[in-house]
Protein backbone atom coordinates (compact mmCIF):
# COMPACT_ATOMS: atom_id res chain seq x y z
CA UNK A 1 0.00 0.00 0.00
CA UNK A 2 1.31 3.44 -0.89
CA UNK A 3 2.25 5.66 2.01
CA UNK A 4 0.91 9.21 1.92
CA UNK A 5 3.39 11.91 1.11
CA UNK A 6 4.40 14.12 3.98
CA UNK A 7 3.13 17.68 3.92
CA UNK A 8 5.83 20.23 3.21
CA UNK A 9 6.89 22.35 6.14
CA UNK A 10 5.39 25.82 6.18
CA UNK A 11 8.26 27.12 8.31
CA UNK A 12 11.62 25.81 7.15
CA UNK A 13 14.17 25.11 9.84
CA UNK A 14 16.98 27.65 10.17
CA UNK A 15 19.90 26.70 8.02
CA UNK A 16 23.14 25.66 9.65
CA UNK A 17 26.17 27.62 8.55
CA UNK A 18 27.34 26.30 5.18
CA UNK A 19 30.72 24.67 5.23
CA UNK A 20 31.00 24.18 8.99
CA UNK A 21 34.64 24.02 9.99
CA UNK A 22 35.62 22.06 13.10
CA UNK A 23 37.59 23.78 15.86
CA UNK A 24 39.62 24.55 17.85
CA UNK A 25 40.11 27.45 17.67
CA UNK A 26 36.42 28.21 17.97
CA UNK A 27 34.70 31.29 16.58
CA UNK A 28 33.06 33.77 18.95
CA UNK A 29 29.28 34.20 18.88
CA UNK A 30 28.24 37.31 16.98
CA UNK A 31 25.47 38.02 19.53
CA UNK A 32 27.06 37.48 22.95
CA UNK A 33 30.76 36.86 22.25
CA UNK A 34 30.88 33.41 23.90
CA UNK A 35 32.69 30.55 22.12
CA UNK A 36 30.63 28.62 19.56
CA UNK A 37 30.77 25.04 18.29
CA UNK A 38 32.19 26.25 14.95
CA UNK A 39 35.77 26.80 13.91
CA UNK A 40 37.03 30.32 13.21
CA UNK A 41 37.10 29.64 9.44
CA UNK A 42 33.36 28.80 9.28
CA UNK A 43 31.69 31.17 6.79
CA UNK A 44 28.52 33.06 7.58
CA UNK A 45 26.88 33.99 10.88
CA UNK A 46 27.99 31.82 13.78
CA UNK A 47 26.10 31.77 17.06
CA UNK A 48 26.58 29.91 20.33
CA UNK A 49 23.98 27.20 21.13
CA UNK A 50 21.99 29.54 23.41
CA UNK A 51 21.80 32.34 20.83
CA UNK A 52 20.96 29.81 18.07
CA UNK A 53 18.05 28.56 20.19
CA UNK A 54 16.83 32.09 20.91
CA UNK A 55 17.12 33.05 17.23
CA UNK A 56 15.10 29.95 16.25
CA UNK A 57 12.39 30.91 18.78
CA UNK A 58 12.19 34.44 17.37
CA UNK A 59 11.98 33.30 13.76
CA UNK A 60 9.62 30.33 14.29
CA UNK A 61 6.09 30.68 13.03
CA UNK A 62 3.26 30.50 15.51
CA UNK A 63 0.20 28.33 15.30
Residue pLDDT, tens place only, 29-60: 999 999 998 888 888 888 999 999 998 888 88
- Measured between alpha carbons, how far is 40 from 26 in angstroms, rounded to an integer? 5
Please check the confidence at residue 22 and state whether its pLDDT lies above 60.
yes
Q: How confident is the model at residue 43, as a pLDDT? A: 85
- Measured between alpha carbons, how far is 23 from 7 in angstroms, rounded to an integer? 37
**For residue 39, how many other CB atoms are within 10 A of its CB?**
15
Amino acid sequence: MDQPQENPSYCPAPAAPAGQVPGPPYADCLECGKPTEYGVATPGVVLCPVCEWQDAERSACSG
